[in-house]
A and B are shown apart, each in its own frame.
Chain A
Amino acid sequence: NAGVTQTPKFRVLKTGQSMTLLCAQDMNHEYMYWYRQDPGMGLRLIHYSVGEGTTAKGEVPDGYNVSRLKKQNFLLGLESAAPSQTSVYFCASSSFGQGTSPLHFGNGTRLTVT
């Protein structure tokens, strides 16, 4: 049972480059989320989706875009990477809203922007 799978696990970008992080879940969950984790700041919500074809902004959406074309996939894009986007990115999914059912997390993507 794979759960939530994130690719890639590590990536180094130069300032101004673009990339897409892929999240896939095999639990048929409706809700999916992208978080970033920075030292001393906990997890902050970037974008989320409440179902296929829907996306919404979270707490820190600037500089990121997302798409949910298929229910099982949630893509996070960086169009022009900046050093401030150096972070560990986590994808998560849940069957219902965040207060009702637990979040299932992937193992994270460590991104460094130089």
Chain B
Amino acid sequence: GDSVTQMEGPVTLSEEAFLTINCTYTATGYPSLFWYVQYPGEGLQLLLKATKADDKGSNKGFEATYRKETTSFHLEKGSVQVSDSAVYFCALTGDYKLSFGAGTTVTVRA
């Protein structure tokens, strides 16, 4: 079935560092791809999405490009802040449901 694999964490960075979280997917059709973020003590919230190949999703300084040729949707941010500390989930639509990756915990130190 459809599935998502994302890089394991935890990831610890200093403020203003560059962040990349790798995400690859397996799907039989043409899924939509998402990044959700979970801040401490809260539920998940949509960070960005892309619905077709070569689309770039962006929000709050984060970007991800839907790469069909490499089946990837890597999340990037050029200069992270302490407030970006959270768990990040890659997800895709497939079958009847949204499939989530295991999540990557990111901690940004001042």
- Interface residue range, chain B: 20 to 34
Tell me, yes or no, whether A103 is within 8 Å of chain B by CB. yes
| In the complex, chain A residues 59-94 whose Cβ is within 8 Å of any chain B Cβ | 59, 90, 92
Residue of A nearest to B46 (CB): A102
What does DSSP make chain B's interface, helix, strand, loop or mixed? strand
Q: Are B89 and A42 in contact (CB under 8 A)?
A: yes
Distance between Cα atoms of A106 and B101 in the complex (Å): 19
Q: Are A102 and B102 in contact (CB under 8 A)?
A: no
Q: Are B43 and A48 in contact (CB under 8 A)?
A: no
Residue count of chain A within 8 Å CB distance of chain B: 22
**B98 / chain A contacts, CB cutoff of 8 Å:** 45, 98-99, 103
Q: Distance (Å) between the CB of B34 and the closest chain A CB? A: 8
Query: In the complex, which of the residues A40, A99, A105, A106 contacts B32, with contact meaning CB atoms closer than 8 Å?
Result: A99
Chain A residues within CB distance 8 Å of chain B: 4, 40-45, 48, 56, 58-59, 90, 92, 98-99, 102-108
